Amino acid sequence: MKCAICRNGATESGHTTVVLENDRTTLVFKNVPAEICNNCGEEYISSDTNKALLNHARAELSRGITLEMLSYAV
């Protein structure tokens, strides 16, 4: 698709790292599937992927950890 930020580039499938944090916990998700602009580098994460990340994050938060590196897996 065409990039909505720079309106110049096109997005390509790739992977990115997403960091989610609140007051006491930081979660780092590696290998998250994303569409990445080949011009400005803007990352687009699908709503399904986003939902899966938030569900995963909620489960991790309930364990009371402070920092965790996770690999995104469907």
Residue number with CB closer to Zn ion (42 or 68): 42
Interface residues toward Zn ion, by CB under 5 A: 3, 5-6, 9, 37, 39-40, 42
Q: Are 40 and 10 in contact (CB under 8 A)?
A: no
Residue number with CB closer to Zn ion (13 or 62): 13
CB-count exposure of residue 27 (10 Å: 0-12, 13-18, 19+): buried
Question: What is the smallest separation between the CB atom of 18 and Zn ion, expressed in angstroms?
Answer: 18
Residue number with CB closer to Zn ion (9 or 33): 9
Task: Give the three-class secondary structure for 35.
Answer: strand
